[in-house]
Structure formats: structure tokens, C-alpha cells
């Protein structure tokens, strides 16, 4: 019987706002939303070369600022014109990092991270002390899946704020550096303890090490700080299921499903197994059929449904399940064929 597994890391990197100012839980998806990035005209230490440049051309600094602001305004209505303005600004002000920063912002919003990295690297050479550029470079490398390089840039930041440390912890999780991720996340929770996604990350890493008691302790702490949260309840269910505490797992799955209906077939399977081990066969069948609706090609789901239907003597229902499976699975597994043969024998 398949053991329920921990969910993948459910949180995305932080782009701009310090997480202690966050008003809502971090989204579950990693990079499905466009990042919000501080305007290059407002980033400190970003115009050091431009001040030197403007000694020769007194109006150039203000002209560049106006050009960037105009380009940003045009991005909403005529992005091609806005992009052309920024590209011209790069040519006119090659020693100023701001047009490169603004171009990087444009590319990040369109998730063209390689192009953003190219512009940010140029900006970093022009303003090597600018931590905002290093932070965005780290985030862009993170977004491309180059987690080690992302960490290199995060480590370059002299006084890393909480977002930097959180993103580094998340990168460590992706690299499988579980112990380092746990240590850093615990350090963060000593500073900021009311943000659910920090607990999500920590609990999932503890699950990887089968540290169920400690994971539950942090879940309880999270419940005290942030209240009931769908993903938090889901993690509680996973912890109980992996520890084979089936009644607690079933109750937690039910609560999580009430707050936010489960859709992932693997998690529905874990929910069904919790119901099964609690003696709720009918509920287990119901949940398994929900999983089939999401993944009708999964033979393991049909196998488990058929076992339960046979055990309860529901052979007509089992025949319908076999017929449903035959619509999607062209080649039955040996187990499915065996169950199918048994159903035919019992039905005759």
C-alpha cells in the first residue's frame, strides 16, 4: 500500500516586500504571478555612476529619470514603445545602472529571466554596492532553477533582510539541503513567527526527516499564531498519516478539505487511506472516485476501489468501475486483471 507523501514546497520566493509587512499568506504556486519590483528610480545606491555622469551633463540625471518614468507609464498601454525608450536610454546613459534595472523589471514581469539577468549583471558592475540588484539577481537565478547561484547572490548581501533569508532557505530546500534549510527557517521564526508560509516550509522539511513529533509541535505553534489555515491543516493530516495515526489524519484531512477542497490525486488517495484505516469504507470509496475524476489513468486508484467494492460484495458497482477503467487504461496491470477475473466469477 502506498504511503502518503509530503507535498512539494508550496511557497514561492519573495520579490520585494519584507515578509513582516505581508498582509496575506504567500500564494501556493511558485512563479504563476508577476513579481512586484521596486522602481529603479527609487532604489538606493543605484545612481552613483549617474551622479558622476551628470557632472558633465547637468540635465542628464533628470532627463533619464523622466525617460524611465515615461517608459514605465507606457508599459501599460504601449509596451513596445516603452521598451524602445529603455533600450535608447541604455545607449544614451551607458554608465548609469537605472535603465538596465528598468529593463530587468520589464523582463521579470514577463518571466524572461535570462534577459533580466543580463541587464542586472550590467547594473551590478555599475553599482557593485547595491544590494537590491544582488537580491533581484538571486531571485532571477532562483526562478530559472539555478538555486546554487541564487544562494551565491543572497550571500553577497551584507545585511540580509528577512526575505533574503527566506528565499535562501527555500533554495536550500530545492537543493535537498534539508538540515541547512531547517536551521535557517528556525532562525527566521525566532524573528518573525506569525507568517504561515514559514511554518509550511519548516514542517515539510521536518517531514522529509520523519521528525513527526517536532513537525506537529510547529504546526500547533503555527495554529496559535495564525489560526486555522487550509494548508496547515493539510500538513497536519500528512504528518499524522505518515506516522500512521489514522483517526487524527482523517479528521485533519476532513478539516483541510472543508477549508479548501483537495484536488491532487495523491493527496486524495492519502485521505481515502485514512478513512479506510478508520473503518469508513464508503467514505474511502467516495474519496477515491474524486481522485479518479482528477486522474482517470491512474490504475492504483481503480485497484483500491475494486478491492473495497469486492470486500463489501458490491459486484455490480465493481463491474461499472472496471468498465470505467477500460475507457482510460488500454493495458490493465496484472492486479487489475486479477480483480476483474474475480468480479466476473462472483457475478456469474
Same domain, 151 and 172: no
Q: 329-336 long-range CB contacts below 8 Å, 24 or more apart?
A: 329/297, 329/299, 329/302, 332/299, 333/299, 333/303, 335/299, 335/303, 336/299, 336/302, 336/303, 336/306
Cβ–Cβ under 8 Å, residues 343 and 322? yes
pLDDT score for 277? 97
CB-based contact 257:248 (threshold 8 Å): no
Residues 115 and 85 in one domain: yes
305 domain residue, yes or no: no
Q: Residue 22: helix, strand or coil by DSSP?
A: coil
My answer on whether 151 and 167 are in the same domain is: no
Residue-range definition of the domain harbouring residue 95: 45-160
- Cβ atoms of residues 339 and 307 within 8 Å: yes
Three cell numbers at 187?
532562525
**CATH number of the domain that 117 lies in?**
1.25.40.10
Are the C-beta atoms of residues 100 and 85 closer than 8 Å to each other? no
Q: Last residue of some domain: 226, 244, 271? A: 226
Q: Which residues contact 184 (CB under 8 A, 6 or more apart)?
A: 165, 168, 169, 172
Cβ pair 252, 226 in contact under 8 A: no
Per-residue model confidence as pLDDT tens digits over 300-333: 999 999 999 999 999 999 999 999 999 999 999 9
Q: What is the pLDDT of residues 17-30, one digit of tens each?
A: 322 222 222 222 23
Query: Alpha helices, DSSP H only, in 190-280?
Result: 196-208, 212-226, 230-242, 246-259, 265-277
| pLDDT the model gives residue 75 | 64
Q: Are residues 63 and 106 in the same domain?
A: yes
**CB atoms closer than 10 angstroms to residue 303:** 19
What percentage of the chain has pLDDT greater than the value 90? 58
Q: What is the pTM of this model?
A: 0.73
| Digit-coded pLDDT (tens) for 156-194 | 999 888 889 999 999 999 999 999 999 999 999 999 998
CB 97 within 8 A of CB 49: yes
pLDDT of the residue at 50: 40
Per-residue model confidence as pLDDT tens digits over 191-217: 999 888 899 999 999 999 999 999 999
Whether 146 and 167 map to the same domain: the answer is no
Question: Count of alpha carbons within 13 Å of 336, Cβ hemisphere only?
Answer: 20
Does 125 lie in the same domain as 50?
yes
Amino acid at each position: 500500500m502506498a504511503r502518503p507523501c509530503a507535498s512539494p514546497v508550496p511557497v514561492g520566493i519573495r520579490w520585494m516586500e519584507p515578509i513582516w509587512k505581508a498582509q496575506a499568506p504567500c500564494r501556493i504556486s511558485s512563479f504563476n504571478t508577476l513579481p512586484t519590483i521596486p522602481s529603479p528610480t527609487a532604489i538606493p545606491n543605484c545612481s552613483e555612476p549617474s551622479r558622476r555622469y551628470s557632472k558633465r551633463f547637468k540635465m542628464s540625471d533628470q532627463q533619464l529619470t523622466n525617460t524611465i518614468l515615461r517608459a514605465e507609464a507606457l508599459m501599460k498601454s504601449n509596451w513596445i514603445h516603452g521598451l524602445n525608450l529603455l533600450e535608447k536610454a541604455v545607449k544614451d546613459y551607458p554608465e548609469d545602472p537605472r535603465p538596465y534595472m528598468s529593463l530587468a523589471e520589464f523582463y521579470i514581469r514577463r518571466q524572461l529571466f535570462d534577459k533580466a539577468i543580463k541587464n542586472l549583471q550590467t547594473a551590478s558592475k555599475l553599482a557593485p554596492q547595491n544590494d537590491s540588484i544582488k537580491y533581484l539577481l538571486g531571485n532571477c537565478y532562483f526562478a530559472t532553477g539555478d538555486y546554487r547561484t541564487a544562494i551565491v547572490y543572497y550571500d553577497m548581501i551584507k545585511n540580509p533582510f528577512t526575505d533574503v533569508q527566506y528565499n535562501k532557505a527555500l533554495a536550500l530546500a530545492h537543493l535537498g539541503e534539508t538540515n541547512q534549510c531547517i536551521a535557517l527557517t528556525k532562525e527566521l521564526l525566532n524573528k518573525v513567527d506569525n507568517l504561515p508560509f514559514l511554518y509550511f516550509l519548516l514542517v515539510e522539511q521536518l517531514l522529509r526527516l520523519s521528525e513527526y513529533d517536532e513537525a506537529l509541535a510547529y504546526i500547533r505553534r503555527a495554529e496559535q499564531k495564525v489560526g486555522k489555515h487550509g494548508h496547515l491543516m493539510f500538513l497536519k493530516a500528512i504528518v499524522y498519516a505518515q506516522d500512521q495515526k489514522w483517526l487524527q489524519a482523517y479528521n485533519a484531512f476532513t478539516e483541510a478539505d472543508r477549508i479548501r477542497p483537495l484536488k491532487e490525486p495523491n493527496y486524495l488517495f492519502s485521505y481515502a487511506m485514512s478513512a479506510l484505516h478508520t473503518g469508513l469504507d464508503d467514505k474511502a470509496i467516495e474519496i477515491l472516485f474524486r481522485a479518479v475524476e482528477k486522474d482517470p489513468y491512474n490504475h492504483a486508484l481503480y485497484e483500491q476501489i475494486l478491492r473495497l467494492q469486492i470486500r463489501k460484495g458490491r459486484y455490480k458497482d465493481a463491474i461499472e468501475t472496471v468498465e470505467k477503467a477500460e475507457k482510460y487504461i488500454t493495458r490493465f496491470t496484472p492486479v487489475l486483471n486479477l480483480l476483474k477475473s474475480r468480479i466476473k466469477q462472483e457475478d456469474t
